[in-house]
Amino acid sequence: MYTLDEIQNAREKIENSLQSQLEDKARRGVERRLAESLAAATSIASGSGLVMWLGNGDESSNMDALMTWTRYTLQQLNLEASRKAIPHLLAELERTLWTWEDQSWH
């Protein structure tokens, strides 16, 4: 038999876990929208040509790689996943793409 305290503790753990999962899902949704905005602003084409440059190498598309890059860059720059991060992310993405373009020509 479980005590009332044990049941309440178990319920609290479950609620905290569900809340954390919902927050993670919402954050990933914002990160996706940020990546989509960056792709539109920089005219990143569909395909997979940037997967090795922007992503981990195991993404299936440029958009997936850009999402990985966005998540990583938000962490590196200590930015919150929000609309306010767009100018910082855009500047960093342009630097990253310029570096890639410069290296590809040499």
Claim: this prediction has a pTM higher than 0.75: yes
Domain boundaries, the chain: 4-104
pLDDT at 102 over 70: no
What integer is the mean pLDDT of 61-67? 96
For 11-55, write each residue's pLDDT tens digit: 999 998 999 899 999 999 999 999 999 999 999 999 999 999 899
Nearest to 34 by CA among 78, 85, 91: 85
CA atoms within 13 A on the CB side of 50: 23
